[in-house]
Amino acid sequence: MSQTRRACFAFFLLIVASPGPLFAAEKSSAAILVRDALTAPGQPATVEAKLISKRLMLIAALGGEPLELVVDGKVVATALTGGDGRAFFTYTPKAQGLAPVHVRVGNSLRIDQAEGQANLAVWEKRQAILVVELSSLIEEPLPSRVPPIGIAFESERKPIAEAVYELGKLTQFYYKVVYVMHVPVGIDGFQRSAEVRDWLRRHKFPIGYILALPADTNALGVRIDEFHAAGWRTVKVGVGRSKAFVESFIQRRLDAIMVPEPSKGEVPRKAKVAKDWKEVRRKL
């Protein structure tokens, strides 16, 4: 056997015996979805993310993978995803404001690089907060097949034109805004939050904190109670379209405005009514 053939044969045996070092396994594509977070300056915030696969015809959670929380270009926390693909980060911001936070894949042997983004609201607890039901910003009436407390969100749905302007005025100097959306059973809340965040951005709504809740008539009321227990006492006025949303405020002796004006019999007792978003500012 010639020297050249011996060298080729030896190389072949090396490949068969130990293929790993020579040919690294191809990494899988993935996506990261992140929920918005809320805290006060100097208090810890919990940022929640979810890692999912991006294979065709297969959307699955990816567990046991390292993720990194990045703020202002610096890694401020790390976490491993659980079996459901979710990871939780704890981060304590110092300055108030509303800024994007990024979550990316860390040093993973299986997953290709990916990154997701959400908003971290760092607000003083004395600042006034306006809670807005997402459906009150949509131009078209809710489809009858959709439960009245939520909406079937579609990226092409048009916003009420004056809502963008009026909400911009309300948040320019005074209110911080919390957008409430209800997620139907079987729909991924992480994905829906990302879709809504993109929809609000594209239509130039004020940046705020997106609160995704289950499609349950009691979910908003429970969350309002949690806000108050945590010291967010300025959560005391809501602007919404559905009767269930408005009742969550009225039942707690808080102010609520229904917009646009509903049909007779749909207005809870003690609720205010605005014909359109132009009247909302006058009702507050």
pLDDT tens per residue, range 247-264: 999 999 999 999 988 877
pLDDT in tens, 99-149: 899 999 999 988 999 999 999 999 999 999 999 999 999 986 545 444 444
Task: Please report which confidence band the pLDDT of residue 5 belongs to, taking 50, 70 and 90 as the band edges.
Answer: low
- From the number of C-beta atoms within 10 Å of its C-beta (0-12, 13-18, 19+), residue 69 rates as buried
Q: Does residue 80 contact residue 64 with C-beta atoms inside 8 Å?
A: yes
Under DSSP, the state recorded for 111 is B
Q: pTM of the full predicted structure?
A: 0.84
- From the number of C-beta atoms within 10 Å of its C-beta (0-12, 13-18, 19+), residue 130 rates as buried
With H, G, I as helix, E, B as strand and everything else as coil, classify residue 86: strand
**How do strand 86-91 and strand 129-133 relate by DSSP bridges?**
unpaired
Amino acid, res. 143:
P
